[in-house]
Structure 1
Amino acid sequence: MAEDSGLQAALCSEQFGSGAARGCRAAADGRLQWEAEGRRWWGSPGNRGGAASSPLSGLVSVFLPQGFPDSVSQDYLPYQWWDSVQAFASSLSGSLATQAVLQGIGVGNAKASVSAATATWLVKDSTGMLGRIVFAWWKGSKLDCNAKQWRLFADVLNDMAMFLEIMAPAFPICFTMTVCISNLAKCIVGVAGGATRAALTMHQARRNNMADVSAKDGSQETLVNLAGLLVSLLLLPLVSGWPSFSLGCFFLFTTLHIYANHRAVRALVMETLNEGRLWLVLQHFLQKGEVLDPTSANQMEPLWTGSWPPVSLSLGVPLHRLISSVSELQHLTEGHHEPYLLCWNQSRNQVQVVLSQAAGPETILRAATHGLVLGALKGARHLPRELEGLRNQLRADPEKASWAIVMETHQVLDKLFPKFLKGLHDAGWKTEKHQLEVDEWRATWLVSLEKKML
């Protein structure tokens, strides 16, 4: 052992998250000496943390979740970067829109009536409140299933609302109606944006730390908005009195906002399956026998418009909607013992699925896969041999009963689905939960219906 160090063998070591480990050795005088990355400090009651924290580590602790990067998903950092860029651009656009609204209601105009301005403001807020309630009732259950698409929709709608606010002063006769429509859109944005933000936070939190991830996201947004406020204080005096320049700046910030939002949403890698991702993965599996990994499927997932499933799929529908006679119930239950019943309308290419009380996530995933396979009989180019034979039968006999095709696809899925499910597990998909849109209807039926009728 080197004499100049005066150290004995290492006694212990410690590590914070995935950071560099630091070891503890005993010095000749009995004190503890910690070493890490070329630094050395002496342990003592007044120096519990060892060396002083760097400014960078201080910023990490303030604006990033504890345990970063291990405590969040791998897509956290790229998403948050682009999310901060879009928030900054939105803050600048919002300042221009707010200035236009204040001018429109008479701020700075000695002839403007306070009561008229107040009435306009109250009508605007009331319209938005009603819109928030109606939209939450209408689309609230669908926001989890397509969080990325709804997040992008909310931000684009927000830009449209701000554009209406900027243009409102140019049409004084329609000012009140314009700002009411704008506030209605903003309230819809609040519902869709807030709900999808919660869904994305749940995806990013990996250590039961959703509250911490949400709080740090709020801190990041506050910092970005503060920066936007400071820039707005410099910008607004420059554009005041220059409507065309103000409009040009708004379009510039809006372009940056939409681009950053698209990059942020595209950076997300969701490991759970919704209908769009399931269709992409299933289509690839049927054509090539391989299961796409979450990263590849998320990159291919349409955010605006694109390759959506060719079939209209409804999960968890009421049983009374599908049957009106005993024979129809017999057709639905014939040839399988799965805890779901499936009805396929060929002319509309519509699949409706009744779920049993015992249906769990795997059953729902199989039912959705079954419905998409039926849609693939008309939409996909290449299919496995078993399904290709069914498609040829369907082409040769278009009048063949739908329930007969459904029964035969049950038999095909008995072979294909276990392989598909194993491929999903191996590729890294989480199949114990899903983001498929499922209604709350559940039913029970006799497994041996024919024997019971006899």
Structure 2
Amino acid sequence: MQFNPASDMTDLGERVLCTESYGSRRTQRYQLLPGGTLSCVPDRPGDGGYRSLWDFFMAVFLPQGYPESVSPDYLAYQIWDTVQAFASSITGTLATQAVLKGVGVGDETSTVTAATVTWILKDGTGMLGRIFFAWSKGSKLDCDAKQWRLFADILNDVAILMEILAPAFPACFTFIVCISGFFKCIVGVAGGATRAALTMHQARRDNMADVSAKDGSQETLVNLAGLLVSLLLIPLVADNLCLTYSLYGLFTILHLYANYRAVRAVCMETLNRARLCLVLRHFLQQGKVLGPDVANPQEPLLLGFRHQLKMSLGAPLHTVTSSVAEFQRALEENSTNYLIFFNQAAGTVSVVLHQQACSVDVIKACTHAFLLEALMYWDVTSCVLEKESLLTVQQQLCEESKNKGCSVVSETRRILDRIFPRFLTGLTAAGWVTERNLLGPEEWRVDWTISGKKTF
């Protein structure tokens, strides 16, 4: 916009020079008044500050720039996350009361030393659980953040139930609360790590710290509300086991339902194995690529979900072959940046990645593995893409019961080379992010090229 102050100041009428906005929630105009004064005029009365208590609430508890600064699924997820946090706060209070009763609070025959030892054993067991779980599953939490988040909340309810029931078994009380502490520390690792992964997904303006901080404020407010409600419930449940168990059951059902709705509301644009499998199946059957908003609601949320063909992505070479001839054949039959070793009898497929393999190469390698799974377990007669080729290779696979899938790998590579460019274009057009992925490859990489030549 061009503005000539000298000419405009000669006009005694009010002129709008420019407009200004604060996200999508506040707009204002700047006017030139007689005498050359620049005046700021909100489009709505009160836009110069907080127009209402609701505006103040949004500024305190929502990220700056909301809703443009977060993902579209942010509000739905946070609403259900708030409900589950409130329910968890209530059941947590019931568990705390039960544990305190179990360690002897209010019992004149109990000693401080016995209570202290029980508490130390409980915390120590939990610390060991935290270290063990982070070591064994830490690298998997990013790939299946929704599944692990739901798992953490289910395990949390189990731990709370154990604490509520522990006083009924005084001989095993210490053992029960130690196991409960072990579970709760696993919950802490899984819940905290997946919360960070979801926060990274929700932050759209490099504002992960702000989103995380506001999430913490929301949780603090909810926990405060839970504490106030707990103050009213504690006198009622102090000596009433039936009411305690009833309230636990009621709020646990609410907690689990809210958690399910929360993780189901999350719409991830990055591909993990479950989402890639869903998208590929639909692509082969319909010729179209599902968008994130369609594929995410179909994604399994239980950790028990496993692909029928066991896949090792980023496998070390020595675990898949010790034969120079087999390695040379794999180099001749596979893509330049990954090698597929398929063992039909064992139901396994191992992918060896090149050092220069990028995210698209990893997606292609995983797609190749799922194509082999389709030949083994899917009904390929329903496919509209490469139907005849897939049926031919499937028939060949049935006839070669003792082979390691070498010829099948070569055939499926040729099929994949024909369809993958269209598939990759469809992924990008549908809104999937292909520059990074959540397919969870191991860190092993092999360099089988020297001066541009394949070696063995």
**TM-score between both structures, scaled by the size of structure 1:** 0.93
Question: Which residue identity is paired with 2:180?
Answer: S
SS of the residue 2:438 aligns to? coil
Equivalent pairs counted in the alignment come to 440
CA offset digits 1:195-223 (Å, max 9, x no partner): 10010000000000110000000000000
Task: Name which of structure 1's ranges 293-302 and 321-330 shifts more when overlaid on structure 2.
Answer: 321-330
Contact residue 161 and residue 183 of structure 1 kept, 8 A: yes
Aligned ranges 1:108-127 → 2 under 5 Å: 108-127=106-125
Structure 1 contact 315–352 (Cα < 8 Å) conserved: yes
What code does the residue aligned with 1:35 have?
A: V
Q: Which residue of 2 aligns with 1:393?
A: 396
* Deviation of the 1:50 alpha carbon: 3.2
Distance 1:192 1:451, change over 3 A: closer
- 1:420 paired residue number: 423
Decide whether the 8 Å contact of 2:309 with 2:349 is kept in 1.
yes
Q: Please, which runs of 5 or more residues in structure 2 have no aligned partner?
A: 1-11
Q: Secondary structure at the match of 2:433?
A: coil
- Contact conserved, 1:157 with 1:185, CA < 8 A, in 2? yes
Aligned to 2:435, the other structure's residue is in SS state coil
The verdict on how the C-alpha distance between 1:108 and 1:354 changes in structure 2, with shifts beyond 3 A counting, is: same
In structure 1, C-alpha distance between the alignment counterparts of 2:124 and 2:15, rounded to whole Å: 73
| Aligned-residue offset at 1:7 | 4.4
Q: Does 1:317 align with 2:311?
A: no
Change (3 A) 1:407 1:448: farther
Residue 434 of structure 2: SS of its match in structure 1? Answer: coil
For residues 4-83 of structure 1, what are the structure 2 equivalents within 5 Å? Answer: 7-28=13-34, 30-39=36-45, 50-51=48-49, 53-83=51-81
Kept in 2, the 8 Å contact 1:23–1:34? The answer is: yes
Q: 1:409 offset after TM fit, Å?
A: 1.1
Q: 1:414 to 1:234 in 2, by over 3 A?
A: same
- 1:437 pairs with one of 433, 437, 440: 440
Structure 1 residue 451, shift from structure 2 partner: 8.8
Alignment partner, residue 328 of structure 1: 326
1:2-401 alignment to 2 at 5 Å?
A: 7-28=13-34, 30-39=36-45, 50-51=48-49, 53-304=51-302, 308-381=306-379, 382-383=382-383, 384-385=386-387, 386-399=389-402, 401=404
Is the 1:143–1:196 contact (alpha carbons within 8 Å) kept by the matching residues of 2? Answer: yes
User: CA, structure 1 residues 157+291, in 2 after alignment: closer, same or farther (shift >3 Å)?
Assistant: same
Q: Distance in 1 between matches of 2:262 and 2:173?
A: 34
Distance 1:71-1:97 versus aligned 2 partners, 3 A rule: same
How far apart are the structure 2 equivalents of 1:51 and 1:59? 13
My pick for the range that moved more, 252-261 or 443-452, is 443-452
Deviation sequence 1:101-133 (CA, Å, 0-9, x none): 000000011111111111111111111111111
Distance 2:396 2:228 in 1: 68
Q: Which amino acid aligns with 2:348?
A: Q
Superposition deviation, residue 34 in structure 1: 3.4
**Structure 1 residues 38 and 202, CA, compared in 2 at 3 Å: closer, same or farther?**
closer
Deviation at 1:27, TM superposition (A): 3.1
Residue type matched to 2:373 in 1?
G
- Per the normalisation by structure 2, the TM-score is 0.92
Contact 1:279-1:308 at 8 Å conserved across structures: no
2:355 and 2:445 in contact (8 A); partners too:
yes
TM-superposition CA deviations, 1:161-211 (whole Å, max 9, x none): 000000000010000000000000000000100110010000000000110
Q: How far apart are the structure 1 equivalents of 2:450 and 2:281?
A: 31
Q: Deviations over 1:301-356 (max 9, x none)?
A: 01126874321111111111112121111121123442111101102221101111
- Please tell me the residue identity of whatever aligns with 2:439: L
Q: Give the C-alpha shift of residue 54 in structure 1.
A: 2.8
Seen in structure 2, the aligned counterparts of structure 1 residues 451 and 441 have a Cα distance that, compared at 3 Å, is closer
What are the superposed Cα offsets for residues 426-448 of structure 1, whole Å, 9 maximum, x if unpaired?
A: 00000000001111111121489
Between the aligned partners of 1:368 and 1:299, the Cα distance in structure 2 is 21
Query: 3-state DSSP class of the match of 1:352?
Result: strand
CA contact (8 A) 1:337 1:447 kept: no
Once residues 202 and 301 of structure 1 are traced to their aligned partners in structure 2, the CA distance between those partners, rounded to angstroms, is 20
Contact (CA 8 Å) 2:157, 2:252: kept in 1 or not?
yes
Work out the CA distance in 1 between the residues paired with 2:404 and 2:179.
Answer: 49
Deviating beyond 6 angstroms after TM superposition, the runs of 4 or more aligned structure 1 residues are 447-453
Q: Distance in 2 between matches of 1:397 and 1:175?
A: 58
Conserved 8 A contact 2:267-2:293: yes
8 A contact 2:345–2:401 mirrored in 1: no
| 1:32-63 alpha-carbon deviations (Å, 9 max, x no partner) | 443344438xxxxxxxx835543222111110
Q: How far, CA to CA, are the matches of 1:448 and 1:326 in structure 2?
A: 20
Are 1:333 and 1:447, in contact at CA under 8 Å, matched by a contact in 2? no
Q: CA 1:9/1:160 → structure 2, altered by over 3 Å: closer, same or farther? A: same
Match of 1:410 in 2: 413
Structure 1 Cα separation of the partners of residues 290 and 121 of structure 2: 51
The secondary structure found in structure 1 opposite 2:250 is helix
Q: Which residue of 2 aligns with 1:45?
A: none
Helix, strand or coil at the partner of 1:68: coil
Once the two structures are TM-superposed, the CA of residue 387 in structure 1 deviates from its matched residue by 1.8
Q: Structure 1: state its 5+ residue gaps.
A: 1-5, 41-48
